[in-house]
A and B are shown apart, each in its own frame.
Chain A
Amino acid sequence: MQTYATPVIEEMLGTPPFALEAEAKNALYARTLSDLTLHHYERSREYRRVSRLVGYKPQTELQVEDIPYIPVRLFKEFELISVDRREVIKTMTSSGTSGQAVSRIYLDRITATNQTKVLVKIVSSFIGGKRLPLLIVDSPTVIRDRALFSARGAGILGFSMLGHDVTYMLDENYQIDFARLDTFLEKHQGNRILLFGFTFIVWEYLCQALRRSGRQLKIDGILIHGGGWKKLASLAVDNATFKKVVDETCGVSSVYNYYGMVEQTGSIFMECSQGVLHASIYSDIIVRDPITFSALGPGSTGLLQLVSLLPTSYPGHSILTEDIGEVLGVDDCPCGRKGKYFCVQGRVKNAEVRGCSDVYASH
């Protein structure tokens, strides 16, 4: 089987990424995802066993909600792979702190290529097709080890495709390299600049550093940032505050957050002008009731399941996250984009552990 998805993604690249209405998308997804599920079922022993556990029957056409999903943490514990090991060209890892288990995502050429193409499609629809000078709000050390991609490194390299004259804003010690920055800004005076970075890095090493330095930038630019709000939530910084401070410190008023996981690189969910996240034609989102796991309609809060058409080399096309969120509507966002739009409220809370477990384990 010369896998399912290449032609599908190839065909879709001609369609604008937020053009499909629910009916057309559901029909496409039922067919495509059923094939993709069978593909992983046949090739990944682990996925096959999980699918059987939840009652999956191969060779049947399923609705999107009925596609088996795999808990995202399993990527940290098992080698989940749906191609021959020799076809793997890179392995991505989630950026866990030392000592923590990390996800390992195995990419073959097709999946890696599709990830890049789709990322470019989605982001271009927000910032325009023209490549802009790109400032990376990070230190170049993140991507040094090319063999083992961290999620951050992979994100940076992915977004690097969207710009030219890619320039890192921070030095090896996470200090703003003002000399390099000034040269860059001078060179591109009069042009719009694209900035990319991880939410916490932007906040801490750009905005806060600028505040401390007393310098205020006036960049005519667009900032795209992602990677999660966990650290900022602990600092009580919400999206509105973040945008305000980015504007105050950098002069950048176009700020787009995105939501995505290393397990589904490429088919990211972008925030629109209304401040909500959008599923593109390459991905979908399902909110599940935490008690029953049944799919919930718009307006209900639950666990987020993410669906993507891209992963063929590993069974990550349907994953159950540990994030809580809510679908806000379908096809009718005032921004004009079709598809589901939603918000993420954060990670599921750790339950208060009861029982006679270790005195030293958790206090």
Chain B
Amino acid sequence: MCMLPTNDKLNYVIGGQVDFSARPLLPFDGKVRAFLSLLSARLIADAATRTMPDVMSFAWWCRKSNIERLAKTYDDGALRIGRGLAFHVTPTNMPVNFAFSWAFSLLSGNANVVRLPNRDFPQIPFIVRHIADLLNEGSFTEVRDMNAFVTYGREEEITEALSAIADVRIVWGGDATIRTIRKAPLPTRGVDVGFADRYSFCMLGATKILNLDQADLVRLGAHFFNDAYIMDQNACSSPRLVVWHGSDSEGEQAGDRFWGAVRMEVERRYELAAVSSVDKFAQACRDAIELDCLTGLKHEDNRIYRLRLNAIFADIDSRRCNSGYFYEYTTTNLDDIAPIVTNKFQTLTYFGLPREELASFVQRNRLSGIDRIVPVGEAMDIGLIWDGYDLIRTLSRVCDVR
């Protein structure tokens, strides 16, 4: 039994009753699995989910067969148990991220207090309502008693009170947020998991793309669109730099083909805000003024900006622009990129290059960054392995039995 804090400014959307229980379960506990699979089914059955692709991908992720599959990969014979109470601070701008954060932690065996984003995304009350309905039906009292969803403003004392009782604190939402939240101390055994600002890029094999048939090219363009444009190139895993593997002329020709395919998707599915046009143009001007390695800007209109570089430079990850703004660099030697990879680098999406080669690139260069190497199209697929953490193993403890 554990008392959750009370405060005028702390609003319990779900849970918070006196009989809250922070007693952990084993990872992939049967009750949790049953709960998530039923939640998945309810969400998928709700017609409104079809209008919210991000809700659909959450529902799809926690469907029964996927969770069963994941459970098997953790079946290593070790005795694992949740750490206790997890306090989640979820990002303002990613409407469904709170649900993933909560599900990962719940599957790890933890009780949860989830701070919801203070934003009017329809996805949030929608998912929350489905969770609440299920919890209140009476078949899941154990799960019910170990989960609370809250909202509050910037009150530090609430963050402090929740941190003080947390065995794990999971903070999404960038460097500044993490720094702010970390001012509140955790118990001495508490574990802090921070999802900081990250940088992601893409590597493409020029020859492969030059030889692609039209249908595959179109598919590739659509996949890249999903990685880059769905979240307005503003997610941690959205590519901001495209590295072409090939000669300059191959890179050039493959680039025109590739971007032509991306363009078809962009014209069909992306609405560029006027303010983003100005942002992109201003960033291009800044780059022109400050970067000697910028050889030119390729663009047919403001929806895709390609900033061509003839050299790669160290702090490229600090030059940020969204809404379809890409640096491009062509090389015959991928190891050129190694010196600029810092621990800020998260996702490497690839196409037309063998993944073994990319894994070897990370390995042989002993890189401190790049936590994911996934095919183009999978940049947004969040999962139990994220940002270099194995979340089930991070959010649970091992009992060493000999």
Contacts and interface: CB of A to CB of B under 8 A. Distances in A.
Interface of A: 45-46, 49-50, 52-54, 70-71, 73-74, 77-78, 290-293, 302-303, 320, 322, 324, 348-351, 353-363
30 contacts: A49-B285, A49-B289, A52-B288, A53-B285, A53-B297, A71-B278, A73-B282, A291-B302, A293-B281, A349-B275, A351-B276, A354-B231, A355-B235, A355-B236, A356-B91, A356-B97, A356-B172, A357-B91, A357-B92, A357-B174, A358-B92, A358-B173, A358-B177, A359-B89, A359-B172, A360-B176, A362-B93, A363-B92, A363-B118, A363-B119
A355 B231 contact: yes
Nearest to B181: A359
Nearest to B274: A290
Interface of B: 89-94, 97, 117-119, 154, 172-177, 180, 195, 197, 231-236, 238, 272-278, 281-282, 284-286, 288-289, 294, 296-297, 301-303, 322-323
Point out which of B231, B233, B289 has the most chain A C-beta atoms below 10 A from its C-beta. B289
Given A71-B285, A74-B285, A356-B173, 12 more contacts: A74-B282, A74-B286, A290-B273, A290-B302, A348-B274, A349-B275, A351-B275, A354-B231, A354-B234, A355-B93, A355-B235, A355-B238
B277 A303 contact: yes
A302 B301 CA distance: 15
A355 B230 CA distance: 9
Closest 6 CB pairs of A and B: A355-B234, A290-B274, A359-B173, A351-B273, A53-B288, A71-B282
Nearest to B273: A351
Given A70-B285, A348-B274, A362-B92, A356 B302 contact: no
Contacts of B91: 356-359
A353 B173 contact: no
A77 to B, nearest CB: 7
B288 to A, nearest CB: 4
Contacts of B175: 358
Given A356-B172, A356-B195, A49 B288 contact: yes
B288 A293 contact: no
A78 B278 CA distance: 17
Nearest to A54: B297
Point out which of A46, A290, A322 has the most chain B C-beta atoms below 10 A from its C-beta. A290
Given A291-B272, A360-B177, A354 B285 contact: no
Contact of A359 (B174, B236, B238): B174
Nearest to B175: A358
Given A356-B195, A359-B177, A324 B285 contact: no
Given A356-B195, A359-B91, A293 B289 contact: no
Contacts of A45: 289
B364 to A, nearest CB: 30
A320 B302 CA distance: 14
A353 B173 CA distance: 13
A360 B177 CA distance: 6
Contact of B235 (A78, A356, A361): A356
Contacts of B90: 359
A264 B309 CA distance: 34
Given A53-B296, A348-B275, A355-B94, A361 B285 contact: no
B379 to A, nearest CB: 12
A348 B279 CA distance: 11
Contacts of B294: 53
Contacts of A324: 274
Contacts of B231: 354-355
Nearest to B171: A359
Point out which of B93, B234, B235 has the most chain A C-beta atoms below 10 A from its C-beta. B93
